[in-house]
Amino acid sequence: MGRALVAALQGRVGVRGAEPGDDLATALDAIEVAYLCVRLRDPMARLRWGRWARQPHPYLREVVDRARAAGVRRIVYLSTAYVHGFQEGRITERTPPRPQHPYERLTAEDERWLREQSGVEVVALRPAQVVAEGEPILACLIRQLAGHRLLLPGGGREAHTFVTGADLGRALAAAGLRGMPGLAYLVGGFQATWRDLLLAVARELGLPPRVGWLSYDLTRLAASVQRFRAPAGQECWSTPFMADLFGRPHLIADGWSRRELGWAPVMTTLEAAIPELAQAARAALAAPMASPASEASRTTSPPTSAEHHRTRGALIR
């Protein structure tokens, strides 16, 4: 997903790409804003939550320490709207977060810790479900759809808010310029269902439209039992979070965030997002199978001239 965000940020800010294994001191040198977009928690893994887990990911500590030492003014952190949990009605900026699953709780703990740091400004973005090249859930769905009949809890018919990678990049740039330190902003794009989204991609790519139905209650029950049988960190399609992801609605209303950040999505309908969805689907089908921890995105060189950019940033992805 990093490549999609780099493309969206270029032309708005000067971008220097960096991977988690790169030298952060070099990547953050002479940087004003760092866009922290690395995926530290895997939504498809069997994660564990307990008192011992209530601490930030070690990589966050390293980034903050390096950013302070390099004189970085601001970190824009890419969180997720799933820190609010799955709640009835639309989620707004005033909706208290109610994370339930380990993925939601661990991500919420990372965000909370980061926003409380001093010595560097931190602005958090909570995007809805991202649909972009390299996004792991979308890529897994596309591969399964191409290989056999795809069965989703509830048929994937519940309404969700989605946002494309291009629009998310625009929101990141706006947060780097106008976000208030210590605050978290929601980011939405268009409303659709997983079923409609996958059928649209299937039509675009000429894939068989094989999206079927599974009982949500039975799927969630089975996932709750199986989560105790697999080692922590193992990737698995059937987890309680994934059952809720397809079997429960997740809608956000980000009007306040749009006004405060001074931005608006371009892709506001599923039809408008189909070209980017198709690109992401083709990339998923062409990419070799890889574990989420080993997936790497390409780095980009900093622009040769920054005179047309209002700020310089590093994208850590």
| pLDDT computed for residue 152 by the predictor | 95
What order do you get walking across the sheet with 74-78 strand by strand? 14-18, 312-316, 33-36, 74-78, 121-127, 184-187
CATH number at residue 15: 3.40.50.720
At 233 the pLDDT is 47
Retrieve residue 95's tokens: 């909706």
* Residue 300 DSSP label: -
Quick one: what percent of the chain has pLDDT higher than 70? Answer: 85
- The pLDDT score that the predictor gives to residue 229 is 62
SS (H, E, C) 146-214: HHCCEEEEHHHCCEEEEEEHHHHHHHHHHHHHHCCCCCEEEECCEEEEHHHHHHHHHHHHCCCCCEEEE
Closest to 28 (Cα-Cα) out of 80, 60, 61, 71? 71
Count the residues in the chain: 317
Looking at residue 14, what is its pLDDT? Answer: 75
- pLDDT value, residue 309: 33
Residue 22, pLDDT score: 84
Give the domain range for residue 292. Answer: 2-316
Distance, in Å, from the CA atom of 64 to the CA atom of 77, rounded to the nearest integer, reads: 11
**20: its two tokens:** 């988690």
Backbone angles phi, psi at 6, to 5 degrees: -60, -45
pLDDT at site 21 = 81
Query: How many Cβ atoms from other residues are within 10 Å of residue 69's Cβ?
Result: 12
Q: Which residues, given as ranges, of the chain have pLDDT below 70?
A: 2-3, 11, 51-53, 227-237, 289-317
**For residues 168 and 5, is the Cβ–Cβ distance under 8 A?**
yes
* Nearest one of 113, 138, 129, 116 to 53, comparing CA atoms: 113
How do residues 78-106 score in pLDDT, each as one tens digit? 999 999 999 999 999 999 999 999 999 99
Number of domains in the chain: 1
Model pLDDT, residue 87: 95
pLDDT at residue number 106: 94
Buried residues in 169-206 as b, exposed as e (16+ CB within 10 A): bbbbbbbbbebeeeebbbbbbbbbbbbbbbbbbbeeee
